[in-house]
Structure formats: structure tokens, C-alpha cells
Amino acid sequence: MSDAKYDVLTVGNAIVDIIARAEDDFLVKENITKAAMNLIDADRAEHLYSVMGPAIETSGGSAGNTAAGLASFGGSAAYFGKVADDHLGEIFTHDIRAIGVDFNVKPLNGTPPTARSMIFVTPDGERTMNTYLGACVELAPEDVDADVVASSQVTYFEGYLWDPPRAKDAIRLAAQIAHDNKRKVALTLSDSFCVDRFRAEFLELMKSGTVDIIFANEAELKSLYETSDFATALEALKGDTALAAVTRSEAGSIVVTPQETVEVRARPIDKLEDTTGAGDLYAAGFLYGLTKGRGLADCARIGGLAAAEVIQHIGPRPQVSLRDLLDQSGI
Amino acid sequence: MSDAKYDVLTVGNAIVDIIARAEDDFLVKENITKAAMNLIDADRAEHLYSVMGPAIETSGGSAGNTAAGLASFGGSAAYFGKVADDHLGEIFTHDIRAIGVDFNVKPLNGTPPTARSMIFVTPDGERTMNTYLGACVELAPEDVDADVVASSQVTYFEGYLWDPPRAKDAIRLAAQIAHDNKRKVALTLSDSFCVDRFRAEFLELMKSGTVDIIFANEAELKSLYETSDFATALEALKGDTALAAVTRSEAGSIVVTPQETVEVRARPIDKLEDTTGAGDLYAAGFLYGLTKGRGLADCARIGGLAAAEVIQHIGPRPQVSLRDLLDQSGI
């Protein structure tokens, strides 16, 4: 795969995060499902902003964060996602390009506006997202630049893309182009409630070989196989995909293939500030390792390194060079 | 002063901060004066954004940060400053109201847009600001709500307000209303280069009694009295104002009146991340103490407490409740 222009192309909902701290009882009072990605409409977005505390704005979006992480490691990354030609769209575009990611999807002219997610970080460091999809609903097959897909070692996309109406068509097209060019396709399951909405389709993507690599956390995996037993879910996963990385928060991560299981411990951290971006950055580190020919245990360790950085500050993208962290890590 | 509705009214340039990390050689290459507030025009703003790394957006503005700090302590605060009716203006308005500050200045309809400051944080934690004043240039006497001034124990304003054309008229009007109502007026010198631009006017404000309380850091004070000797500057200051608080970074702060000098050590911190807002939050803590009847040493300690919080994370406003910090501090 060494002739690829890009190590990884990521595809996802292009979102600006609006992040504030909140107490748990605020989530209860506002009827927000904790730790989940809650989809909201424009009226609900207006209401939540009116009751939200002082916030910071920063580019986010799961696959956008992963692309930023890859670039921070020094990998070459491209991104597909849809913003509008408004101020938040400019912010998103600036930030992802500034970290070195190629992003050239045409912005939507006019409404709906660029997507935003109001993220409440509770005292335990958990993040709870409330996402207004805005311009993301317009992502469609015509946004797929075939040359970029063909020249990316891995095309990685979010399960969240099953929420907007036509993005899944873009993904199926991209997956076809990738495989036609002997590239790999990766999917993150994104969120246990998202898995619940699209379980049959995600399983079909796996069983049909449309995706080659799966990223999931424990809750998503249990949701996928409708079991409360992790070992059962993991065993089922081994039968359904060629390669999967499963994150387990402070318990580290497990990489499985039909032949092997590799378990890696989590890196110790000083203080958990904000879990936003943890899974996205794990995927960034894992894919960086994979595209650089590292073994699976190292891929998992590099993923854990990136996740550990991002959960120790507010915001979903790295604040320091992951390249430097990796150089210092001894991995 | 106990019949006041507000502990403090702050007046300043209403700015959204765009914050990114940068190396020192970036500042040199872009010809930016380090640690200063550099005023820029729209073209320069566009250029700097194009070469800036990935950023976060967060409400700022010196006096806005001070008002936010006062509210975080549980004080009652109001704010005057000018935003435009655009997205950044909405962000600024949301954030300052969400922390509990009364802010009702009419936004500017149309252009220029809401002010923004591109802030580069170097590895030493120092912040270097590049401010496009935008809508701030429209702040004028008609934005002064006399009832708010009359019912504020202290009206506090930035030296930075001498840069836009008519804000100084608003300040002179507000100072008159404040004194007519037996209230106090406070000025922060803001920035040593700002002092250099308006030295004579700032000294006149002090000597004429238009301001009662001065906030400054060491560099600003030396600039004010055109001396490199701190003791000389401090002695001159004692003759020119009834009360002044001078911050000295890790050396703590010194409070002077014509009769006394009180020196307070800085609080130890774990790691300096970003000095943005340090002086603003010191003023918030000091004024909170003063309006609650604390002695000068305690006022300086409370100021130091707030400054220590804000320099340990990216961004110019507190990320945790200063009320809680104060309760735990034993001050």
C-alpha cells in the first residue's frame, strides 16, 4: 500500500463543538441521555444554548478529530464532510486544514447552517453530546472525490453517517472505489444508540466485507450483538470482521482478528478532564501505526497514547504534537 | 456602598478570542510583538488567520474576562461593550450572560463585525494578542446606561478603550455618573504599549481623580512613569492615586495607597499553560474582595487565586467556580 498519497481518508459529519461544563442534574433536568450523542433539531438547539453555561467553540466531528490526530502524528490525511459557507464552516475548514489535513469538499451554499454539537462535560469527565446536523444532511455521493479515495491506504468513516439521509450512499460508493483500488475500509461504530438505530446495516457492512476494520468501544460492541456479556460480543466480532480494535476506557484496548487476540493496557493519566475525542484519537493512533507497518500491539499502544492526551484537556483534538509524544514514548 | 445593585460594572472592548499555540520563531517571522496586544486591520487579520494553527474560539476581552471572574466568585456584575449582530457577537453575548453578568448594550447592526483577537500561546505560556477591533470602534456615550453606572459600587474600565475613537467619551461620562453617585472608578493600564500610546491621558485621569483605583503590571507601571526602576515607579504611583494594585507575575502583587504598601506572594501553580486573562482575573478577585469589605492583603490574595486558576489552562476565563476555590482556599 506504499504508493498511496494519503495514509488515511476519514469521512464524517463536519461539526463545530460548543463545550461547557455541567452538573449531572442539569442533564437529568433537560432530559439528555448522558454519555450519548443525542440528535437535536434547530429549536432544541436554541433552547439548549439558552440554558448552557459559558462555552468554548472548537472544531470537532468524530472523523474530523481522527484526521486531525493522524496529521498530528505526521501522517498524511484527507477528510470528507459537509459544512455550510458560514462562520462556523470557516472555523471548521481553517482548523482541519491548519493541522495539515486535505479538505476540499464544496461547502453548502446557504442553509442549513454548519452543524454544531453542544457538549456538556460533567464532573466525572464524561461528555454528553447534543448534535444539530445542519449542513451534514447534504453530504452525498457527489462529494466523493474518487481520486482521493483511490489514493488513500485506508478510508475510515463514522457510523454516525447513517443518520443524515444520503451519506451512506457516499460511503458505499467510497468503499467500492477503495476496494477496486485494493485499499482498506474502516468503520467506527460511533455510539451505542447509533448502533441500536442501524444494527442490521452495520452487521451487513461487516459480513459483506464492505468494511475491513472495525473500531468500537465496549458499549457499542455489546449493543451490536445485543448482549451484556463482553466475551460473547468479542467472540461474535472475531467471526464477522478481519480486524477490530475495541476500546475499554481505563481497561485499555483489545485487538482481534479471526486468528488472534491482543490486549494492551491503558496509559496512566494525571487527571481525566474531558473524554470528548477519546475514541476518535485512539482510531487516529491505531491507523497511524497500521499504515506505517507497525504490529497490532503497537497500533493499540499508539492509539492509547493519543487517547490519553486528548482526555486530559477540554476539547476533542490534540493540543500538543502527537508526533513528539510518540517519539518520547518509546513505543 | 451596600445599597448597590452591582458590585462591579466593567467596560471594555468586547472580543472573541481565537487561540492557538505557536513557536517563538513564528512570532518573529510574522513580525508580531511578543506578549503585547497588537492592533491589526481586517487584511492583517485575514493573513494571520491563514497562517495560524488549529484554534479554539472563546469569549474574551479584558474587562469581559474581569466581569466573568466577578460573577464566578458570586459577585454581581454588569458589562458594557459593543458586539455586532453576527455569530461571534452571539457567542460573546451568550457566554457573558451565561456566567451571570448583566449585558444589555445594543449590538451593532451590520458592519464592522464583532471584534476578534488572534492569540498565540508560546511554549513558555506567554500570550501574544493580535486584535481586530471591529464593532468595538462604535462604543460611544449613548451606550452608557446611567442607571447601571449609578448602581455599581465600582465602575472598572480598560486602558484599551483609548484605542477606539469614542469609547473614552463613554468612560468620562460613566466616571462622572459614578462619582455623582459616590461610587468608585477603576482603571487597568492594560498593556505597556497601550500606556505608551496614552501616557499623558492616563496620568491625567489619575491626577484629576477621574479614577480612584489603578491596576497595572510591572511593565505597564514602568512605561507609565518612563523608568526602568520599579521602586521609582511605585513611589510615583503612590503620589498619583488613592489605591493601586500592581501584579508581578510569579513575584506576586503589591497594593499601594498613599499611606501603606502591602505585598502578597503568588500562589504556587502546577504548570503555566497560558497567561491570557491573568491580569483580568487578578482584578476580578481583587475587586470582589474590595466590594465585600475585605482588607487589602486579602483582596490581593483573592486576586492571586483567580489569576492562578486562569493561567493553568488555555483560555482567559475561569473553567471552575471561583466561589468554590475561594471557599476552599482559607483566605
What integer is the mean pLDDT of A171-197? 97
Residue B21 resides in a domain: no
**Position of cell 481525566?**
A272
Span B173-202, pLDDT tens digits: 999 999 999 999 999 999 999 999 999 999
The predicted pLDDT at position A127 comes to 97
Give the C-alpha separation, A63 to A281, whole Å. Answer: 9
Looking at the structure of chain B, the number of domains it has is: 1
Indicate whether B110 belongs to any domain.
no
Amino acid at residue number B84: A
Render pLDDT for B258-308 as a digit per residue (tens, 0 to 9).
999 999 999 999 999 999 999 999 999 999 999 999 999 999 999 999 999
- Residue at B86 is within a domain: yes
Range of the domain at B150: 6-12+66-102+139-322
- Mean per-residue pLDDT of chain A: 97
Interface test with A, best of B18, B56, B95 (most A CBs within 10 A): B56
For residue B226, give Cα distances in angstroms to B163, B195, B199, B234, B279. Answer: 20, 10, 9, 12, 21
CA of A118 vs chain B CAs: smallest distance (Å)? 13
The answer as to whether B116 is a domain residue is no
Grid coordinates in use for B98?
451565561
Tell me, what DSSP letter sits at residue A48?
H
pLDDT in the model for residue B173? 98
Q: How many angstroms separate the CA atoms of A126 and A251, rounded?
A: 16
CB contact under 8 A, A54 and B317: yes
Q: For residue A122, is it within any domain?
A: yes
pLDDT of residue B140: 97
Q: Does A87 touch chain B (CB under 8 A)?
A: yes
The alpha carbon of residue A95 is apart from the nearest alpha carbon of chain B, in Å, by: 4
User: Does residue B2 have a pLDDT over 60?
Assistant: no
**Any domain includes B58:** no
* Nearest chain B residue to A315, by CA: B56
- Asked whether residue A3 carries a pLDDT value surpassing 80, the answer given is no
Q: A56, B56: Cβ pair inside 8 Å?
A: yes
A328 falls within a domain: no
**Given CB atoms, is B52 within the 8 Å cutoff of chain A?**
yes
Chain A residue with Cα closest to B52: A98
CB-based contact (8 Å) between A98 and chain B? yes
Dig out the grid coordinates for A254 from the structure.
Answer: 483489545
Other CB atoms within 10 Å distance of the CB of residue B228: 8
- List, for residues A13-32, the tens digit of each pLDDT value: 999 999 999 999 999 999 99
pLDDT of residue A135: 98
Give the closest residue to A209 by CA, choosing from A257, A238, A175: A175
Residue from the list B21, B49, B56 with its beta carbon closest to the beta carbon of A57: B56
pLDDT, one tens digit per residue, over A103-146 is 999 999 989 999 999 999 999 999 999 999 999 999 999 999 99
How far is residue A140's CA from residue A150's CA, in Å, rounded to a whole number? 18
Q: Which amino acid, residue A277?
A: G
CA neighbor of A283 nearest in space, from A328, A320, A247: A247
Tens of pLDDT along B123-137?
999 999 999 999 999
Interchain CB distance below 8 Å, B319 and A319: no
* Residue B136 near residue B175 (C-beta atoms within 8 A): no
CB contact under 8 A, A94 and B314: no
What residue in B sits closest to A113 (Cα-Cα)? B87
User: What Rg do the C-alpha atoms of chain A give, in angstroms?
Assistant: 18
- Looking up residue A277, the CATH number of its domain turns out to be 3.40.1190.20
| Averaged pLDDT of chain B | 97
Instruction: Say what the pLDDT of residue A212 is.
Output: 98
Separation between Cα atoms, residue A84 and residue A93, nearest integer Å: 10
Question: How many Å apart are CA B274 and CA A32, to the nearest integer?
Answer: 33
- Per-residue burial over A56-69, b = 16 or more CB atoms within 10 Å of its CB, e = otherwise: bbbbbbbbbbbbbb
B234 interfacial to chain A (CB closer than 8 Å): no
Classify the C-alpha dihedral A133-A96-A331-A257 as positive or negative.
positive
Q: pLDDT tens, A284-308?
A: 999 999 999 999 999 999 999 999 9
Condensed to tens digits (0 to 9), the pLDDT of residues B229-243 reads 999 999 999 999 999
Residue B76 covered by a domain: yes
User: Band of the pLDDT at A324, cuts 50, 70, 90?
Assistant: very high
Contact A58 B57 (CB under 8 A): yes
Helices (H), chain A: 24-29, 42-51, 62-72, 87-98, 146-150, 167-180, 192-207, 218-224, 230-240, 278-291, 296-310, 322-329
Q: How far is CA B300 from the centre of its chain?
A: 16
Position A137 scores a pLDDT of: 97
d(CA A311, CA A308): 6
Name which of A87, A103, A116 to mutate to probe chain B: the one with the most chain B Cβ atoms within 10 A of its Cβ: A87
Q: What is the pLDDT of residue B1?
A: 46
pTM: 0.95
Nearest alpha-carbon partner for A1 in A69, A67, A51, A75: A75
Question: For chain B, what is the radius of gyration of the CA atoms?
Answer: 18
Q: Flag whether pLDDT at B102 surpasses 70.
A: yes
What pLDDT, on a 0 to 100 scale, did the predictor assign at position A1?
46
Q: Does residue B276 belong to the interface with chain A, where contact is any CB pair within 8 Å?
A: no
Q: What percentage of chain B reaches a pLDDT higher than 90?
A: 99
Confidence of residue B3 (pLDDT cuts 50, 70, 90): confident
Question: What is the per-residue pLDDT across A227-263, written as a single tens digit (0 to 9) for each?
Answer: 999 999 999 999 999 999 999 999 999 999 999 999 9
